[in-house]
Amino acid sequence: MQVVTDQDFADEVLAEKGPVLVKFTADWCPPCRMIAPVLAEMAVEQAGRLKIVQLDVDRNPETQAAYGVLSMPTLMVFQGGEPVRSIVGARAKARLLRELDDLL
């Protein structure tokens, strides 16, 4: 899964034509580690339909603050440079795909 930073967030996420799922994460977050393999699988399966990236909030506080992210993990889907969906917490792959179905 690609890692993005405050410096390249605009290029890697906001400038993308298709949907981008950003996982706001932190090293100290157990649910973040739980959902990591789910997102890694989805990144392969949804390649070409959905770009999946992660941003470490401890190392990139500007982006976290700009989008008001307070809980980890927060999964935020951006489309056309705007956040269109926000999901807080880890969940099973099937549930996550259902929650994103209308965006894919």
37 is catalytic: no
Residue 7 sits in which domain range?
2-103
**Residue 104, pLDDT above cutoff 90:** no
Element at 54 (helix H, strand E): strand 51-56
| d(C-alpha 52, C-alpha 103), whole Å | 13
User: Of residues 4, 21, 32, 52, which has the active-site annotation?
Assistant: 32
Which residues, in sequence order, are CB contacts of 40 under 8 Å at separation 6+?
1
Which residues, in sequence order, are CB contacts of 97 under 8 Å at separation 6+?
42
CATH code at 66?
3.40.30.10
User: Of residues 4, 13, 29, 38, which has the active-site annotation?
Assistant: 29
5 is catalytic: no
pTM to 2 decimal places? 0.96
Task: Count the domains in the chain.
Answer: 1
pLDDT in tens, 50-88: 999 999 999 999 999 999 999 999 999 999 999 999 999
